[in-house]
Chains A and B, each alone.
Chain A
Amino acid sequence: MPIGNAQPSVRPVPSGRTDGAAAEAGGRRRGAGSRHLRGGSRAERLAPYVLVAPAILIIVVLRLYPLLLGVNFSFTGDGERNGTTVGIDNYLELLDDSLFRTALGNVGLLVLLLPVAVAIPGLLATFIYLRVPGHRFYRSVYFFPAVLSPVIVGAIFNLLLAFDGPVNAVLGAVGISPVDWLGNPDVAMFVVVGVHIWATFGMALVVFLAGFATLDAALLDAARVDGASLVQVIRHVIIPGLSRTIAFVAVTTMVGMLTSMFGLLYVMTSGGPEGSTYLPEYYIWIQQGQMNRPALASAASTVLFVIMLVVGLLQVKLLRRAGGED
């Protein structure tokens, strides 16, 4: 069903006659205000706009307009050059900044880890869908970290992963030397992404299960009657049948990794060690809040927005292709 259609009337499909009746009834009850319903009184005709206006106003003023403002801002200077146009200087400075380059590199790492982040909840959802014993229990346990704030998750893992903390104590008990989980630049980013996946796979799991609900059960039964193995069922029935869901989860997971890891980074590593766990969102925050470089931060924001746009367009493309396969 189309969302709206361009008819001048605000009335929800009434015919002329019932409309008149409504007008009369309305007139009786509330007096002059709604008497002219037949032609649609002024108040009634404006009603939909009045209902939508606050939402639209807030979204335009506090979401869409700032976007333009920010892009504009990214071409001006900071500090002494505040307000003057500096062309693409900020972008050149970004390219020159090793911290920002690390942040972009880490985005690349996230893209590489994306298949893992999608496959884990996908597989688990498959098992739950195939009614592994205790599937209801797993479902609610797996989902539970997804409701915790990244700050809380980060704080808990700070305890667990401290150098003299319990994880290393367990490793030590089996003879493995302790790992500096959050202090080793080669390891820290993987640890943070791992914790992020731990905290969010429940979300994707629920989305997958909603997708499974739309899957044709007859196909699965047929495959089972034919003696297909689990791997075959996954490859030939589940993946093609769920291509839309998989594409959706891939994109939302990617967006999640780009925009909701700030809390973890802030609590667990503060971007360190040696700036190895910077992501664009953390860089933006540092430049705007700590370094007092709002224009430079705006340039980084614009870069992040372009990355998100690419992800979004990819989504449209993937969904369309998946839709074509159905």
Chain B
Amino acid sequence: MSRVRLSRWLLAIPMSLLALATIYPLLFTVNVAMKTRRDYILDRFALTDTLRWDNISTAWNSVGMDRYFVNSLIVVTSSVVLLLLLGSMAGFALSQLRFRGSSALFLGCLAGLFVPFQVIMVPLARIMADTALIDTYPGLVLVFVAQFLPFTVFLMTSYYKTIPREVIDAARIDGNSVYGVYRRIMLPLGTPALLSVGILNALFCWNDVLMSLVMMPSAEHRTLMVGVTSLRGQYSNDIPTFASGVLIAAIPVLVVYLFLQRQIADGVAAGSTKG
């Protein structure tokens, strides 16, 4: 028994080193963002002596990160709301209602899982251009929704399957229509799943770069992640400002992670075990 305990402590050594390797790059970036250019060139590693926010405000104001931030916020919020709405509607119908063709429709939704954006990038860009949706908020929102809807429908369907039919029967006896059941019963009962799936979708959309790059070509509509990629060329000589821009893009995600870690991990785990 003691041997087992010892070996567990031995394992803790590589595991802590790995934890350090996981966290250090971010700490390094935070530290650099606080430095002046001169400090950075003189010593990259030394801890900054003061918390300087100049770089952050430079990145925020003069690079256009503020506008990119708002663009991302608009697109991500609309996408997530739509995803949750359409995903829960379809999930409810596919899990609890009996109707002709339901399994075919479910399979149709799942088929979307096997078509990554890279594969349909060219025709999708063409469709968006033909419908004048390219380089507009609704255009990117639609692309995001199409991208993440199969996964959302899948998770909502498996979640709603765990709700006993009696609950719905009772609601029907009380005189609710199918839509009433959706609004008054399924939406509130679905909250935990909606939260998990919503956060995951928000992360996916917020972090995306390829779809945003293809669908939002103009600088005016650029999303935050595409904005970060443009930093590289502009600030290759001003590393602290560059690091600040990266940090601005990372902070919302870090905050979400700190508070909602559990839901994110649950969402990922649900996606795997339900398969």
User: Do residues B239 and A159 form an inter-chain contact, with CB atoms below 8 A?
Assistant: yes
Question: When the two chains form their complex, are residues B145 and A58 in contact, meaning their CB atoms are under 8 A apart?
Answer: yes
A281: nearest chain-B partner, CB-CB = B118
Contact of B165 with A by CB under 8 A = yes
Task: Tell me the count of chain B residues lying within 8 A, CB to CB, of chain A.
Answer: 111
- A21 in the interface (beta carbon within 8 A): yes
Query: Chain B 198-235 against A: per-residue CB contact (8 Å), 1 yes, 0 no?
Result: 00000100111110011000000000011011011000
What B residues does A158 contact at CB under 8 A?
232
B173, A285: Cβ atoms closer than 8 Å: no
In the complex where A203-B268, A266-B229 touch, is A308 in contact with B119 (Cβ < 8 A)?
yes
**Chain B proximity of A92: nearest CB distance (Å):** 19
Is B114 a contact of A312 with CB atoms below 8 Å?
yes
Q: Give every chain B residue within 8 A of A19 (Cβ-Cβ).
A: 172
Question: Is A86 on the interface with B (CB-CB < 8 A)?
Answer: no
Contact A297 B115 (CB under 8 A): no
B7 to chain A, nearest CB (A): 6
Contact with A along B15-46 (1 / 0, CB 8 A): 11011011101101100100000000000110
B122 touches A298 (CB 8 A): yes
- Give A21 to B171 CA distance when docked, in angstroms: 12
1/0 per residue B126-151: CB within 8 Å of A?
11000000000000001101110110
Q: Is B253 an interface residue when CB atoms closer than 8 A count as contact? A: yes
Nearest neighbor of A26 in chain B, beta-carbon distance? B175
Whether B124 contacts A267 by the Cβ 8 Å rule is no
| With known contacts A7-B98, A66-B127, A263–B210 Cβ distance under 8 A | yes
Which residues of B lie under 8 Å from residue A62 when comparing CB positions?
124, 127, 142-143, 146
Closest CB in chain A relative to B162 CB, distance in Å: 10
Q: Are B98 and A285 in contact (CB under 8 A)?
A: no
A25 vs B52: C-alpha distance when bound (angstroms): 66
State A19–B25 Cα separation when bound (angstroms).
62
- Please tell me if B90 contacts chain A, counting CB pairs below 8 Å: yes
Chain A interface, >50% SS class: helix
Instruction: Please indicate which of the listed interface residues A145, A159, A166 has the most CB atoms of chain B within 10 Å of its own CB.
Output: A159
A48-90 near B? 1/0 per residue, CB < 8 Å: 1101101110111111101101100100000000000000000
Residues from chain A with a CB closer than 8 A to the CB of B108 are 56, 59-60, 64
Question: Which residues 1-58 in A have Cβ within 8 Å of B in the complex?
Answer: 1-14, 18-19, 21-22, 25-26, 28-30, 33-34, 43-45, 47-49, 51-52, 54-56, 58
Residues of A near B102 (CB, < 8 A) are 3-5, 48, 52
> Which of A13, A58, A248, A249 lies in contact with B149, CB distance below 8 A?
A58
The reply to whether the CB of B62 lies closer than 8 angstroms to some CB of chain A is: no
Roughly how many angstroms separate A202 CA and B203 CA in the complex, as a whole number?
15
Q: B164-182, CB under 8 A of A: which get 1 and which 0?
A: 0100110011111111001
Is B25 in contact with A156, judged by CB distance below 8 angstroms?
Answer: yes
Check A109 for interface membership: any CB of B closer than 8 A: no
> How many angstroms from the CA of A210 to the CA of B270 in the assembled complex?
8
Q: How far is the CB of A4 from chain B (nearest CB, A)?
A: 3
- Distance in angstroms between the alpha carbons of A297 and B210 in the assembled complex: 15
- Chain A, residues 295-318, CB within 8 Å of chain B (1/0): the string is 001100110110011001000000
Give complex CA distance A308, B119 in Å.
10
Whether, in the assembled complex, A141 has its beta carbon less than 8 Å from a beta carbon of chain B, the answer is yes
**How far is it, in angstroms, between the C-alpha of A151 and the C-alpha of B227 when the chains are bound?**
10
Task: Tell me the bound Cα distance from A69 to B100 in angstroms.
Answer: 29
Partner of B18, one of A69, A142, A169: A142
Asked whether any CB of chain A lies closer than 8 Å to the CB of B51, the reply is: no
Mask of B83-110 contacts with A, CB within 8 angstroms, 1/0: 0001101101111111111110110110
Contact B209 A131 (CB under 8 A): no
Whether B120 lies near A301 (C-beta < 8 A) is yes
Which among A143, A149, A305 is the interface contact of B115 at CB below 8 angstroms?
Answer: A305
Distance in Å: Cβ of B193 to nearest Cβ of chain A: 15
Contact partners of B26 in chain A: CB under 8 A: 156
User: B187 within 8 Å of A by Cβ?
Assistant: no
Question: Within the assembled complex, what's the spacing in Å between the Cα atoms of A144 and B250?
Answer: 12
Q: Which of these, A14, A26, A202, contacts B176 with CB under 8 Å?
A: A26
Name the A residues within 8 Å of B150 (CB-CB): 59, 63
Minimal beta-carbon separation of B226 from chain A (angstroms): 8
A248 interface neighbour in B112, B147, B210, B275, Cβ under 8 Å? B275
The answer to whether A230 touches B264 (Cβ under 8 A) is no
Chain B contact residues, CB within 8 Å of chain A: 4, 7-9, 11-12, 15-16, 18-19, 21-23, 25-26, 28-29, 32, 44-45, 86-87, 89-90, 92-103, 105-106, 108-109, 111-112, 114-127, 142-143, 145-147, 149-150, 153, 157, 161, 165, 168-169, 172-179, 182, 203, 206-210, 213-214, 225-226, 228-229, 231-232, 239, 242-243, 246, 249-250, 253-254, 256-257, 261, 264-265, 268-270, 272-273, 275
List 18 A–B pairs whose Cβ atoms lie within 8 Å, in order of A's numbering. Answer: A3-B106, A11-B172, A47-B97, A48-B97, A51-B89, A70-B119, A152-B225, A152-B249, A156-B28, A159-B32, A160-B28, A211-B273, A259-B116, A259-B118, A267-B228, A288-B125, A298-B123, A308-B119
Lowest 5 A-B CB distances belong to which pairs?
A4-B102, A25-B175, A149-B207, A62-B146, A210-B269
